[in-house]
Amino acid sequence: MSNSDFGLIGLAVMGQNLVLNVESRGFQVSVFNRTTATTDAFVAAHPDKKLVGTKSLEEFVQSLASPRKIMIMVKAGGPVDAVIESLIPLIDQGDIIIDGGNSLYTDTERRDKWLGDLGFRFIGAGVSGGEEGARKGPAIMPGGPASTWDVMKPIFESIAAKAEGEPCVTHIGPGGAGHYVKMIHNGIEYGDMQLICEAYNIFKAAGFSAAELATVFTDWNNGDLESYLIQITAEIFKQTDPETGNPIVDMVLDTAGQKGTGKWTIMNAVENAVVCSTINAAVEARILSSMKEKRVAASTELQGPETTLSADKAELVKKVHDALYASKIISYAQGLDLITTMSAEKDWNLDLGKIAAIWRGGCIIRARFLNDITAAYRTNPELSNLMLAPFFKDLLNGFQQNWREVVSMATLAGIPVPAFSASLGYYDSYRSAVLPANLLQSQRDFFGAHTYERTDKPRGEFFHTDWPEVIG
């Protein structure tokens, strides 16, 4: 039987759910997994579906209609190369391989060239939405040749989430652009999660119960902060641990894991001289959280302030709302700035309006305010920084006072707010016509004769001072 419309390799959580999604749109799907017992169990569990289970890659490839459309959904890194190497002798010129995992975009660029040189077609597609998104409609960020995207478009558009009637998938750009944008999506996700955790930590210090927290987050989800992450946070606060009867969140150990996309985002930001301080704070907060034993030991050695947090609860909710929303705008402004910079660097010609639009549904960072981000970039595709779009500028100007009060209040009470304060630091630096870098440049000239420009001379003219010698 060689008539399946689509084939998928890698039947773990994401693969299985994507297969069921594709099948539910009327396509016949062939499946293969390295451990064939998984394939057997999966196909047996869905006897009424148009699935073709295969036990070898040869059988899998033979079961697909031409040109073959093969999606790889295995662990990122070496396994993707291993699967591609095994496929190469079996497939024909013009067949399409799609890597749907969280691959590093530079790996995708390498594979794009490798497969392109051999006459095959390759798409590196970021898929976001976790298990539920994969099953019901993820956001998909495909990169590769536009002509290959045209072939894949009907399937991708049918399986993607829909937002405001538009599918949450678009051709992002050539080569590794799709996986690159997925990486930034994940970096932004890190920022969003950390900002929510800092809001929670302030409320906890102010004596909010889990039930009160559930109410706050439910209310926020009914307002301008509406988003998947705020929604699931409200649900988390409602859950009780069956063993102890305590809120489940109080029973979860405060050490966070990470798989690497946040770190990759930060490394790329530094390489491109773009500030992503909110995401950086989020990555570092996870690192610090993982040092549980060291933190416990230091907690009895290093002193904090005497002050504790006392505030009117309703007033605090309003102030933290403003601090969270303002910091979130900064985080997106930084992530989108990085995309803009890389787009120019790589000549990708990325459309930020389209990218923001596909993040409105299916993915983990889906949020009401992505409608406003989409509108901002559709109105002005050349926007230099999201903070300066009229809608967001007005919000920031309105939020900034409460934002400062929250950062000060938390700092005085010894509650760590690294992402709130990093965001505020970026905001204040960006809006400063004058920064103290005049002193910094003087220091550089002092010890290294690095020269400086003068305030009273045209830019581009460089000066040096003969500084006094310092002994000792």
* Closest approach of ligand NBP to the CB of residue 18, in Å: 9
Query: Which has the closest alpha carbon to 338: 386, 296, 299, 301?
Result: 386
d(Cα 284, Cα 404) in Å, to the nearest integer?
22
* Closest approach of ligand NBP to the CB of residue 125, in Å: 10
Stretch that binds ligand NBP, among 4-12, 117-125, 148-156, 323-331 (CB under 6 A): 4-12
* Closest approach of ligand NBP to the CB of residue 315, in Å: 38
261 vs 421 by CB, closer to ligand NBP: 261
Query: Which has the closest alpha carbon to 210: 245, 242, 243, 256?
Result: 245
Phi, psi of 245 (to 5 degrees): 80, 0
Q: Which residues of 56-81 are buried (b: 16+ CB within 10 A; e: fewer)?
A: ebeebbebbeebbbbbbbbebeeebe
Is residue 10 a contact point for ligand NBP (CB under 6 A)?
yes
Stretch that binds ligand NBP, among 128-136, 244-252, 268-276, 453-461 (CB under 6 A): 128-136
d(Cα 337, Cα 7) in Å, to the nearest integer?
36
Stretch that binds ligand NBP, among 122-130, 145-153, 210-218, 272-280 (CB under 6 A): 122-130
Which residue's beta carbon is nearest to the bound ligand NBP? 101
Site residues for ligand NBP, window 225-244 (CB under 6 A)?
none
Q: Which residues pair with 127 in a beta bridge?
A: 140
Is residue 14 a contact point for ligand NBP (CB under 6 A)?
yes
User: How many chain residues interact with ligand NBP (CB under 6 A)?
Assistant: 23
Give the list of residues 6+ apart from residue 87 with CB closer than 8 angstroms, or none. 57, 61, 70, 97
Stretch that binds ligand NBP, among 57-65, 70-78, 265-273, 292-300 (CB under 6 A): 70-78
Which residue has tokens 């630091």?
425
Among 4, 102, 227, 231, binds ligand NBP (CB under 6 A): 102
d(Cα 370, Cα 227) in Å, to the nearest integer?
9
At 288, list the tokens. 């610090």
Which residue has tokens 């660097």?
345
Is residue 136 a contact point for ligand NBP (CB under 6 A)?
no
Q: Give the up-direction half-sphere exposure of residue 58: CA atoms within 13 A in the CB hemisphere.
A: 0
* Closest approach of ligand NBP to the CB of residue 116, in Å: 22
Among 79, 414, 416, 418, binds ligand NBP (CB under 6 A): 79
80 vs 230 by CB, closer to ligand NBP: 80
Q: List the catalytic residue out of 189, 198, 319, 328.
A: 189
182 among known catalytic residues: yes
Site residues for ligand NBP, window 38-57 (CB under 6 A)?
38
17 vs 277 by CB, closer to ligand NBP: 17
Is residue 11 a contact point for ligand NBP (CB under 6 A)?
yes
* Closest approach of ligand NBP to the CB of residue 253, in Å: 21
Give the list of residues 6+ apart from residue 190 with CB closer than 8 angstroms, or none. 258, 261, 262, 265, 279, 282, 283, 286
The amino acid that residue 76 corresponds to is A
Active site residues: 182, 189
